[in-house]
Amino acid sequence: MSYEKVLQANKVIIGTKQAAKALKEGHVSELVVAKDADPNVTGKLIKHAHEINVPVLHVDSMKKLGKACRIEVGAAAVAIIR
């Protein structure tokens, strides 16, 4: 489901810091967050997305999310860019 959205997206931003920056700049259409990521890392990001009405999708695994982004390591969050 959400992994496919990441695979099909034209542009994504990988990582919590970069996703937070993209959210602040208003470029994000959807935010994808791994459920197994540390809530201390993703909590503020999810809160900010909700505040600006950006949909937040949850996936089960950081490892699978990283793989969907075609990287070798896990990803806690991925921003799908408009």
Find the distance separating the first CA and the last CA of the chain, reported in whole Å. 19
Q: Which residue has the higher pLDDT, 73 or 5?
A: 73
Predicted local distance difference test score (pLDDT) of residue 1: 58
Question: Furthest-apart CA pair in the chain: how many Å?
Answer: 32
| Cβ(41)–Cβ(16) below 8 Å | yes
Domains of the chain: 2-81 (3.30.1330.30)
Give the model confidence (pLDDT) of 22-72 as tens digits: 999 999 999 999 999 999 999 999 999 999 999 999 999 999 999 999 999
pLDDT band at 3 (very low <50, low <70, confident <90, very high): confident
pTM surpassing 0.85?
Answer: yes
Token pair recorded at residue 35? 């459920």
